[in-house]
Chains A and B, each alone.
Chain A
Amino acid sequence: MMKSEKQYIEFYQEASSIIKERSCPVMNAVRDAAFRQFESSGFPTRKVERYRYTDVDTVFAPNYGISLTPITITPSPFIFHLKDAPINVSPYYNRVANTKDSITALNTMLSHDALLIYVPPYTKVESPIAIDNWLRGKEDTMMNRRFLIILDKGAEATIIISDRMAPPSQAIDHHLSEASPLLEKSEKRKYLTTQVIEVCCHDNAHLDLYEIEETTSLCSRFSNVYIKVGRDSSVRHNSITLFNGLTRNLCDVYLTDTNSQVTLNGCAIGSANQHIDNNTLIHHQAPCCQSNQLYKYVVDDQSVGAFAGKILVEKGAQQTTSQETNANLCASSEARVYTQPMLEIYADDVKCAHGSTVGVMDESALFYMRQRGIPEAEARTLLKNAFMGQVINSIQYEPLRQKLYVKVEKRFRGELDKCEDCRLCK
């Protein structure tokens, strides 16, 4: 075992009573088991297949202050603290997430507060439920966020979870609410986040879930999403990494009953030394389900983009249709791309396909544009934008799509932090 686990184990041994005090019985019930699991397995090394591309140990090695501040909730009929849950949550909490993953175990043992989004039966939530994770602290901080999303029968909801830097006080008045390298100058803090989202979609429920990351290059994030889907349901999960330091997103989907659909979309833009690793598993346990995955990466400078996706079709899951696509644009000679689209199929009446590409910008398209007087840098931005367009186009929630069009373009121009008509930013 490596050294970096030690501080977390010691912290838990010292502080477990404080965490338990601030937490609720549902969470405390599984806490010690998670601790034992973490203690015995430790952090995954790069020899663990699902962690091949991210070095967990070095990220967790520094000494972070562990945040135990409670979550603030703006009143809403659908969002609750787990301890105020309107339903019995013990059949949901840490069920689908109870895997052998060490990061999840660490989150289960350290998270003191969890957010519950519960949509009652046959309820359609008209406007999206937005959750903003503000990163702020006076010193290097580690946060362990936990979400439980339950959509009861026939429920429908759109949920947007964004990771952002909390605006420093002097920036507020020039409406600089977004994350940015500009903020980095004033905020040199390092943040480490672990996040576990458990989603349970009952029969005939429809969920559109967005995770948008827009932080600084000093932020590390490990997000594990576990989705259990019932009969005749549909789930869309969109993971959008606009700006980050080191990100590892894991998304496991279990299709447990017939006739459901799941779509995973991913958009990742890397520059400088950023590291983006998406790892997915779609587990077809029931017949007649459909799954679709589309992950697109643009990596520049020395950034690293990794994608590993597995489609697992169980023996009885006949008439499965599954498609997995990963396309990568490598914009510099030092950027690295790892891709690993896997199929594991134990049923014969299936249609499964995956495709993955790594390529450079089309020289003839660049030439065409330059011939027509478009400067090279502009032409490149246009091409990158068009490349990402496919993912952004498939975003269902219109206002967010429009916003992301602008943001993605700004990102490619390196102007993500700049707001329009603002002299401070120029």
Chain B
Amino acid sequence: MNKNPKKNEFVRKVAEKKYEFGFTTDVHTEIIDKGLNEDVIRLISEKKGEPDWLLQFRLDAYHYWLTQKQPTWGHVHLPDIDYQSISYYADPTASSKKGPKSLDEIDPELMKTFDKLGIPLEERLALSGTAVDAVMDSVSVKTTYRETLSEKGIIFCSISEAVRQYPELVRQYLGSVVPPKDNYFAALNSAVFSDGSFVYIPKNTRCPMELSTYFRINARNTGQFERTLIICDEGSYVSYLEGCTAPMRDENQLHAAIVEIVVMDNAEVKYSTVQNWYPGDAEGHGGVLNLVTKRGDLRGVNSKLSWTQVETGSAITWKYPSCVLRGDNSQAEFYSVAVTNHHQEADTGTKMIHLGKNTRSTIISKGISAGQSQNSYRGLVRVGKHANGARNYSSCDSLLLGSECGAHTFPYMDIHNSTATVEHEATTSKINEDQLFYCNQRGISTEEAVGLIVNGYAKEVINKLPMEFAVEAQKLLSVSLEGTVG
């Protein structure tokens, strides 16, 4: 196959494809000195005007973090990160002291950045019906559409604002799903988290629009440690979108976020991610280290949580959006497409922990690896002793494009209840020659055929994304994969 010069050309073309969002914005950014110690944490806390309990929360997490070692079990080559050479706080809005009040107050350069990214910060784009919280480096820049939401009693703001305005809510839920001592990176995040989004949907409310956060790492040598907390009260519904980009840098940038979701009785949360951090260049230099802890706690009966993710960026992705199915009859879904190219490494999957009765979960994971990349699925399905009638279906497929990449599957199933039904299946293969031949026969070029097949392969997941994201995800897929077949 590889001897065909025409196909090699496709491979080269894709290999040369540049990262589209790799620009830096020249914004005056206040960055605190590199390094991590108690003083830095106190400084971050002070800058944000945080109450004592939160400072204590951070310090406890920091002291725990000091006792831990960076984990090595992932199927990725995680470099030894020098935590002292990272700045833990960068604030691009520092010039306007108290944070932006209206659009005019935001640095115009910053607005351009978000324009380039295509985020509807401006009111005119509000027509698209999405409320956006944009987080650049460490600070939430602007949250759109707040007024409309607040009429319904929905709180959608940055987490630092929530700490000031709704301290009881934050205190009650922060760290209740992902405790600070959960893992190494969660402890780090809990110690130094700078900003993120906070969402509270009151009882029996259907959030009228899609809420969305855009993350961007801009400043050099900074890490991004955002923290998202979503609380969906009884009988409510919310769909939340998350998107990420970063500029091109030679060195690795660190991104260690936490997402916590609490779902109460009869509530439903849909969380969608399109992750497109800078993946590093074709030789594997630079790129974002994406080490994220995401977990949803389905506390109520009949609650529902659905994770959908499209992972195309990052040099190293290490993330397992998980669900704790605590409430009876709760349902969880995980849909994932992970694409790796060049020297990218992804170790991603999910954990479904069934504790309540008649809980159901579905896992659909599609891995696509090209170039010299390594793509792993790692998932856990645990059925607790009292989870009678639990049901799980997992399916993870891998598609290999090129002879130098790898696709791996590491599913774990721990079943402690006899009434559980758990199914898992996985396949690994390259693109079906018959399908390619069929397309060729009908006058479709190999490149187009590959695009068709890959898109069809990922369709099951992409269909689960909200409209706006589905378009972007399809675009990203085609950027990363067009004609990569060898």
Q: What is the CB-to-nearest-CB distance from B68 to chain A, in angstroms, rounded to a whole number?
A: 15
CA separation between A416 and B429, bound complex, in Å?
Answer: 44
Q: Does A346 contact B (CB under 8 A)?
A: yes
State which of A330, A343, A349 has its C-beta within 8 Å of the C-beta of B415. A330
A370 at the B interface (CB under 8 A): no
In the complex, A350 has a CB within 8 A of chain B: yes
Q: Encode contact with A along B109-146: 1 for CB under 8 Å, 0 otherwise.
A: 00000000000000000000000000000000000000
Residues of B within 8 A of A338 (CB): 412-415
Question: Contact between B408 and A343 (Cβ–Cβ < 8 Å)?
Answer: yes
Are A346 and B406 CB-contacts (below 8 A) given A352-B429, A358-B415? yes
B413 close to A340 (CB less than 8 A): yes
Q: In the docked arrangement, what's the CA distance between A348 and B404, Å?
A: 8
Across the interface, B422 reaches (CB within 8 A) one of A343, A354, A359, namely A359
Contact status A355-B414, CB under 8 Å = no
Specify which chain A residues have a CB less than 8 angstroms from the CB of B410 in the assembled complex: 340, 342
Contacts of A335 in B (CB 8 A): 418
Which stretch of B244-252, B273-281, B395-403, B453-461 is in the interface?
B395-403
Give, as a whole number of angstroms, the nearest-CB distance from B6 to chain A. 18
CB of A141 closer than 8 Å to a CB of B? no
Which chain B residue lies CB-closest to A356? Answer: B424
Known A333-B417, A333-B418, A336-B416; contact A356-B403, beta-carbon cutoff 8 A: no
Total residue contacts A-B, CB cutoff 8 A:
122
Contact, CB under 8 Å: A341 / B411 = yes
Residues of B within 8 A of A328 (CB): 415
> How distant is A284 from chain B, measured CB to nearest CB, in Å?
12
Between B398, B403, B404, B409, the greatest number of chain A beta carbons within 10 A of the residue's beta carbon is seen for B409
A341 and B426 within 8 A (CB): yes
B406, B413, B418, B422: the one within 8 Å of A332 (CB): B418
Chain A hits for B426, CB < 8 A:
341, 343, 353-355
Q: Which residues of B contact A342 (CB under 8 A)?
A: 408-411
- The answer to whether A337 and B486 touch across the interface, beta carbons within 8 angstroms, is no
B446 at the interface (CB under 8 A from A): no
- Residues 372 to 400 of chain A near chain B (Cβ within 8 Å): none
Q: Tell me if B429 and A351 are in contact (CB < 8 A).
A: yes
Which of chain A's residues has its CB closest to B425's CB? A355
- Chain B's closest residue to A354 (CB) is B426
Please tell me if A360 contacts chain B, counting CB pairs below 8 Å. Answer: yes
Tell whether, in the assembled complex, residue B412 and residue A330 are in contact, meaning their CB atoms are under 8 Å apart: no
Interface string of B369-381 (1 = CB under 8 A from A): 0000000000000
B420/A352 in contact, CB under 8 A: no
Q: Report if A315 contacts B (CB, 8 A).
A: yes
Residue on A with the closest CB to B402? A348
Q: Does A347 contact B (CB under 8 A)?
A: yes
Assess whether B423 is interfacial by the CB under 8 Å rule. Answer: yes
Q: Is the CB of A358 within 8 A of B421?
A: yes
Which of B409, B421, B427 touches A359 (beta carbons < 8 Å)?
Answer: B421
Judge if B405 is at the interface, Cβ distance under 8 Å. Answer: yes
Contact B419–A340 (Cβ < 8 Å)? no
Interchain nearest-CB distance for A327 vs B (Å) = 10
B residues less than 8 Å from A359 (CB atoms) = 420-423
Q: A347-B403, A348-B401, A354-B409 are in contact. Are A330 and B424 (CB under 8 A)?
A: no
| Given A331-B418, A348-B403, A340 contacting B412 (CB threshold 8 A) | yes
B71 to A: closest C-beta gap in Å: 12
A331 to B415, CA, bound (A): 12
> A358 is contacted by which of B407, B420, B428 (Cβ under 8 Å)?
B420
Please tell me if the beta carbons of A357 and B424 are within 8 angstroms of each other in the complex. Answer: yes
Q: A356: which B residues are within 8 A, CB to CB?
A: 411, 413, 422-425
B403 to chain A, nearest CB (A): 5
Residues of A73-92 whose CB lies within 8 A of B: none
Indicate the size class of the contact surface on chain A.
35 or more
> B430 at interface (Cβ–Cβ under 8 A)?
yes
Q: Chain B residues near A341: list those with CB within 8 A.
A: 409, 411, 424, 426
Q: Can you name the residue of chain A whose Cβ is closest to the Cβ of B416? A: A336
A139 within 8 A of B: no
Contact of B408 among A333, A344, A358 (CB under 8 A): A344
Which residues of the other chain, A, contact B416 by a CB distance below 8 angstroms? 336
Kindly list chain B residues whose C-beta atoms are within 8 Å of the C-beta of A330.
Answer: 415, 417-418, 420
State in angstroms the CA–CA spacing of A346 and B409 once bound together. Answer: 12
Q: Are A345 and B413 in contact (CB under 8 A)?
A: no
A263 smallest CB distance to B (angstroms): 20
Contacts of A278 in B (CB 8 A): none
In the complex, whether A339 has a CB less than 8 A from a CB of chain B is: yes
Contact indicator A345/B412 (Cβ below 8 Å): no
Given contacts A336-B416, A358-B422, contact A350 B429 (CB under 8 A): yes
Q: Which of B1, B398, B423 contacts A357 (CB 8 A)?
A: B423
Task: Report yes or no: B413 in contact with A343, Cβ–Cβ below 8 A.
Answer: no
Closest to B417 in A: A333
Question: Is B428 a contact partner of A353 (Cβ separation < 8 A)?
Answer: yes
User: How distant is the Cα of A366 from the Cα of B400 in the complex, in angstroms?
Assistant: 43
Q: How far is the CA of A359 from the CA of B402 in the complex (A)?
A: 38
> Known contacts A330-B420, A357-B423, A359-B422: does B413 contact A337 (CB below 8 Å)?
yes
B425 in contact with A358 (CB, 8 Å): no
| Alpha-carbon gap, A358 to B413, bound state (A) | 9
- Closest chain B residue to A340 by CB distance? B412
Write out, one digit per residue, whether chain A residues 232-267 have a CB within 8 A of any chain B CB (1) or not (0). 000000000000000000000000000000000000
Q: Which residues of A contact B409 (CB under 8 A)?
A: 341-344, 354
List residues of chain B with CB within 8 A of the CB of A49. Answer: 73
> In whole angstroms, how far apart are the Cα atoms of A360 and B415 in the complex?
12
Bound form: Cα–Cα A214–B388 in Å: 33
Q: How far is the CA of A346 from the CA of B73 in the complex (A)?
A: 19
**Please, which residue of chain B has its CB at the minimum distance from the CB of A359?**
B421
CB-CB nearest in chain A for B407: A345
List of B residues within 8 angstroms of A315 by Cβ: 403-404
Closest Cβ–Cβ distance, residue A354 to chain B (whole Å): 5
Q: How far apart sit A179 and B315, CA to CA, in the bound complex (Å)?
A: 57
Provide the bound-state CA to CA distance between A318 and B430, in Å. 11
Chain A residue with minimal CB distance to B370? A348
Residue of A at shortest CB range from B383? A358
Q: In the bound complex, how far is the Cα of B409 from the Cα of A355, in angstroms?
A: 11
User: With the chains together, A357 CA to B430 CA distance in Å?
Assistant: 25
Please name all residues of chain B whose beta carbon is closer than 8 Å to the beta carbon of A336 when the two chains form the complex. Answer: 414-416
Rounded to whole angstroms, the CA-CA distance of A344 and B401 in the bound complex is 15
Q: Please, which residues of chain B bring their CB within 8 A of the CB of A358?
A: 413, 415, 420-423
How many Å lie between the Cα of A344 and that of B427 in the bound state?
11
Q: Which residues of A contact B415 (CB under 8 A)?
A: 328, 330, 336-339, 358
Complex: chain A residue closest to B378, CB-CB: A342
**Closest partner residue, chain A, to B430 (CB atom):** A348
Distance between Cα atoms of A351 and B408 in the complex (Å): 13
- Cβ < 8 Å to A, chain B residues 430-456: 430
CB closest chain-B residue, reference A52: B412
- Which 7 pairs of residues, A with B, have the shortest CB-CB distance? A348-B400, A330-B418, A358-B422, A343-B409, A355-B425, A337-B415, A346-B406
18 additional A-B pairs beyond A341-B424, A353-B426, beta carbons within 8 Å, are A333-B385, A334-B418, A335-B418, A336-B416, A338-B413, A341-B411, A342-B408, A345-B400, A345-B408, A345-B428, A346-B406, A347-B403, A350-B400, A353-B425, A354-B409, A356-B422, A357-B422, A358-B415
Can you list 7 A-B pairs, Cβ within 8 angstroms, ordered by A?
A336-B416, A338-B414, A340-B412, A341-B426, A348-B400, A359-B422, A360-B419
A interface with B by C-beta (< 8 Å) = 49, 315, 318, 328, 330-360
